[in-house]
Amino acid sequence: MNPTSMRVALSHFGSGLTVITGMTEEGPVGFTCQSFSSLSLDPPLVTFSPSRSSTTWPRIRPLDTFAINVLADGQTALSVSFSRSGSDKFSGVEWRPSQHGAPLIGGALVTFDCRIWGEYDGGDHTIVAAEVVAIELDAETKRGPLLYYKSTYASLNLITENAAVPVSP
């Protein structure tokens, strides 16, 4: 087992994408995060895993609250820019503060305001369990999720169309 074979194997697990954001004294910060998942309904918990090499997570961790923004189809550029360490990630990004002050990214399918519930050892990542304290949901949106599969951005429509193609014998 080596990191490359792990990375390639795990890329076959398709998922949505999030950007995790916080409001620091220097302004809004955030990072693209695929490792988001549901965890518990009561209490309301979600989980994600920041890399130990992330320079942004240590700036978000001390904040009272932070936000998890679930990206919509068409927000690939946001995913790419929020994955570039050291860049001015919020330049040109439309956002507003949540009721708890965390930056909510415009056009996100749903946002979760969160507090840290626990953080655990996860090898070269840590495992964060986060308590959801507020949700903003656009129930009327017709947009689907931005998906990530085999290191490629995809949309639900694309997958549905591909699935509809008959398999030749």
Ligand X SMILES: Cc1cc2nc3c(=O)[nH]c(=O)nc-3n(C[C@H](O)[C@H](O)[C@H](O)COP(=O)(O)O)c2cc1C
In terms of CB distance, is 36 or 98 closer to ligand X? 36
Interaction of residue 31 with ligand X, rule CB under 6 A? yes
Among 21, 22, 23, 32, binds ligand X (CB under 6 A): 32
Stretch that binds ligand X, among 5-13, 38-46, 50-58, 160-168 (CB under 6 A): 50-58
Binding to ligand X by CB under 6 A, coded x per residue (else -) over 79-118, reads: x--xx-x---------------------------------
Q: Report the C-alpha gap between 94 and 15 in whole angstroms.
A: 24
Interaction of residue 148 with ligand X, rule CB under 6 A? yes
Query: Is 114 in contact with 134 (CB distance < 8 Å)?
Result: no
Residues in the chain: 169
In terms of CB distance, is 24 or 99 closer to ligand X? 24
Interaction of residue 76 with ligand X, rule CB under 6 A? no
Least Cα distance to 147 among 45, 43, 37, 17 occurs for 17
Q: Retrieve residue 99's tokens.
A: 């009721």
Interaction of residue 50 with ligand X, rule CB under 6 A? yes
Q: Report the C-alpha gap between 104 and 21 in whole angstroms.
A: 8
Instruction: Give the contacts of 125 (CB within 8 A, at least 6 positions apart).
Output: 35, 49, 50, 51, 52
